[in-house]
């Protein structure tokens, strides 16, 4: 199976990178499944149903969220009825939506997507390691699903790497989101799970993690400075990770970053 996970979509420029490029990438890379992190898609804060639909319309199969899941209150009205929109699995019981789902492909294969949020330097949630272990324990890749992704939405690189090793061999890919900076450590772990600490941002990199530069610079340089954060509006770099899996086991055969457009150096995977 061939699939693509696109990192945090930041504002209008990030949305444009997704809607302009996903149809071409699906064809060019012969993709079976596409996942996007959309928690910053609505002007940097949350997501709306209109934005979700615009992503589905161009070939996005699943959208993950994160610590900004509820910034747009309207999401509460539709997340329970939209299995293609996932929030972190370690929100407390009774929280709207779900954190794991298995999706049926048109050819009969099944793809698992789950998201867990980190605990270091993040809003307090339930234990992510316990939550994802309990969710995955009844399931076996190669039997209950053919390939799978777990997104670790976290601040600390150590916590992301720890959960990658914790889940090694149980899913096809563990990939990090949230920091908006693509890391250079794409690899296949010992037991066959592909891993990258952070996929990066789909947004304008002439910015401070996707926000127009001046206000964040002022806040750091002059404590007490105030100003409204606004998403940067220049051309976005689409940052993603591409994985091919073994058809029998679901384990990764290859992993490669994908970067296109905007300011960052372009990288395009070569399918096996």
Confidence label for 38 from pLDDT (cuts 50, 70 and 90): very high
According to the model, what pLDDT value does residue 192 have? 98
For 112-162, how does the pLDDT look when each residue is reduced to its tens digit (9 = 90+)?
999 999 999 888 899 999 999 999 999 999 999 999 999 999 999 999 999
d(C-alpha 130, C-alpha 54), whole Å: 34
How many Cβ atoms from other residues are within 10 Å of residue 48's Cβ? 16
- Rounded CA separation 267/184 (Å): 12
pLDDT digits (tens, 9 = 90+) for 53-85: 999 999 999 999 999 999 999 999 999 999 999
Provide the token pair at 152: 């670790």
68 is catalytic: yes
Instruction: Determine the average pLDDT of the residues in 237-265.
Output: 98
Q: Which of 157, 60, 188, 158 is nearest to 113 (CA)?
A: 60
DSSP 204: -
Instruction: Enter the pTM of the model.
Output: 0.96
Q: What is the tens place of the pLDDT at every residue in 188-204?
A: 999 999 999 999 999 99
Domains by residue range for the chain, with CATH: 2-203+235-260 (3.60.21.10)
Per-residue model confidence (pLDDT) at position 224? 85
Catalytic residue (one of 68, 153, 178, 180): 68
**Contact (Cβ atoms closer than 8 angstroms) between residue 108 and residue 138:** no
Residues 6+ apart with CB under 8 A from 151: 5, 35, 37, 64, 113, 114, 115, 116, 174, 175, 176, 177
């Amino acid at each position: 199976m061939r699939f693509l996970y696109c990192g945090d979509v930041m504002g209008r420029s990030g949305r444009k990178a997704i809607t302009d490029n996903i149809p071409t990438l699906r064809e060019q890379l012969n993709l079976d499944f596409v996942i996007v992190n959309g928690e910053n898609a609505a002007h940097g804060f949350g997501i709306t149903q209109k934005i979700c639909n615009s992503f589905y319309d161009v070939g996005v199969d699943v959208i993950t969220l994160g610590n900004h899941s509820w910034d747009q209150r309207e999401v509460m009205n539709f997340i329970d009825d939209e299995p293609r929109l996932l929030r972190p699995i370690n929100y407390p019981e009774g929280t709207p939506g779900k954190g794991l789902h298995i999706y049926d492909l048109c050819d009969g294969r099944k793809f698992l997507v789950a998201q867990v949020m980190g605990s270091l330097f993040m809003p307090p949630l339930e234990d992510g390691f316990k939550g994802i272990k309990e969710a995955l324990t009844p399931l076996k890749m190669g039997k209950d699903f053919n390939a799978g992704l777990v997104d670790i939405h976290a601040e600390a690189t150590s916590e992301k790497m720890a959960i990658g090793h914790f889940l090694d061999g149980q899913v096809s890919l563990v990939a990090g989101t949230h920091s908006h900076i693509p890391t250079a450590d794409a690899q296949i772990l010992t037991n066959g799970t592909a891993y990258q600490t952070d996929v990066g941002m789909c947004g304008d990199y002439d910015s401070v993690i996707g926000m127009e530069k001046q206000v964040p610079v002022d806040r750091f340089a002059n404590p007490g400075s105030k100003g409204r954060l606004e998403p940067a509006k220049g051309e976005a770099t689409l940052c993603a990770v591409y994985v091919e899996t073994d058809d029998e086991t679901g384990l990764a055969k290859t992993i490669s970053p994908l970067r296109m457009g905007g300011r960052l150096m372009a990288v395009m995977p070569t399918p096996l």
